Amino acid sequence: MTALPLAAAPLAASVAPAPRLLDLRSEFPGVPETWAYLDAAATAQKPRAVIEAIARAYGEDYATVHRGVYARSARMTEAYEDARACVARFIGADAGELVFVRGATEAINLVAQSWGAANIGPGDRILLSRLEHHSNIVPWRMLADRVGAVIDVAPLTEDGRIDEAALIACITPETKLVSIAHVSNVLGSVADVSRIAAAAHAAGAKLLVDGCQAAPRMALDMAALDCDFYVFSGHKLYGPTGIGVLFARADILAAMPPWQGGGAMIEEVHFEHVSYTAPPLRFEAGTPHIVGAIGLAAAISWVEQVGIAAIEAHEAALTALARAELESLGVRIFGPSHSAGILSFAVGEVHPHDVATILDEGGVAIRAGHHCAQPLMRHLGVPATARASVSAHTTPADIARLAEGVKRVMRIFG
C-alpha cells in the first residue's frame, strides 16, 4: 500500500474544519477525479489494498476452510480465522463473540429468529426508534406478529435525534429488547449507546445496535458501549459485499439456538438427533464467504493505517462544509446541525429523483429516495429526500461540485 499523504485544503470561512484533510483519492481506482461519489452511506468504494487482497484470495491463495487437511486449505482456514480476530480487535471484542454473516440485515434476522424466538413471547415488548432502517424494523415486526409481542416506538427530538429521555421512559418491565441505530442512515444523528444500554439493562432488557453507519467513521469499543448485540455490513466499511458482522456477548451467544442447519455448525449428526458445535461456528452453516471475510479484514487494516480518528475528523470537516454550502443556497437540510458524514436535503419542491438525475449529469453521485426508512419519511412529512454522504476519499472539490449541481437544479426548476 502506498503512503497516505495529507493535503491542506482551503474551506469556506464560516466553517472550522480540521486544519488538514486526507488525500486518499489515488487509493481508490473506482473514483476518478472527474466523479464526485457522495453515496458512501449506501456503499463505500474500495481502496486498492482491498481489491488486491480479494484478487489474491480468489487466485493463488484460494481453497476451502475448516475441512481440507492439505496445506493451502490450512493456510486459508488460518487466514479466515485471522480475519475474524482482526474484526474483533477493531470493535473491542473477542473473536468468539463475532459471527460472520451476509450483512447487517442477516445479522438482525439471526438475532430475531434465534435469540428473539427463544426469549420474546406474548405481551413482551420490543422498543425501536422512529428513525430506524427497515432492516431494524421488519424482522421485529415479523417476530412480534408470530409470537404476539408488542412494538413500541420512541420519538425523535425536533432536530432529528433519538429522544433518549423519551426512549428511556418507554422502557418497561415487559421490554425484552431495545434496538436502535448508532448513526441514522438518513439524518446522520448519533445515539448515546452507553446511556441507552444502562437504562435497558436496569430494566432487564437487552440492547441491539445497528452500527452500519458508525463502523466506517468512528472508533468502536463493545465494552464501553455495553450493548448486547452489534451489527454492521462490510461493504459500507470499504470492504466487499456479502459479508457482515454480528457481535453478541459470549454468554448470550452460547445460549442461542442455531438458526440455519447444515455443514460446519454440527458436532454429530444422526437421523434421530443432532448435536451442535459451539459459537461462533454454530451460526455459520455451510461454506462461508471466505474471501469476503479476508476482504473485510483488509479493509479494516487499511482503515487502521489511515486512522479512524483521522477519517472521522476528515468527514466532519467536509460534512460541515457541505452543510454551509447548501444552507447558503437556501436548501432545506434534515437532521441535527452536527451529523456524522450524512446530509439529507430538499431543493424546494423539486423531487429528489430529479435532483439526483441532474447532479449525475454533472458527475455527482448521491442517493435519492426513502432510504429504507419510510416511517422516518412520514415523520419528516416528505416522500423522499436527496442524500449526500462523504467518505475517506471525499475532497472539497467534490463538495463544490455538489453545490454547483444544486445551483443548476435551481436554475432548471426556477
C-alpha R_g of the chain: 22
Residue 360 has a CB neighbour count (10 Å cut-off) of 14
Which of 18, 22, 44 lies closest to 313, judged by CA?
A: 18
The residue whose grid cell reads 484478487 is 55
Which of 334, 339, 342 lies closest to 388, judged by CA?
A: 342
CA 142 to chain CA centroid, nearest Å? 22
372 is catalytic: yes
C-alpha span between 145 and 155 (Å, rounded): 22
Maximum Cα–Cα distance across the chain: 73
C-alpha span between 279 and 24 (Å, rounded): 38
Contact 42, 389 (CB under 8 A): yes
DSSP state of 136: G
Which of 349, 374, 395 lies closest to 133, judged by CA?
A: 374
Contact 131, 157 (CB under 8 A): no
Q: Which three cell numbers stand for residue 393?
A: 476519499
Angle at CA of residue 279, ends 55 and 114, nearest 5°: 105
Sorted by sequence, the CB contacts under 8 Å of residue 389 that are 6+ apart come out as: 38, 39, 40, 41, 42, 188, 341, 342, 343, 366, 367
The catalytic residue positions are: 372
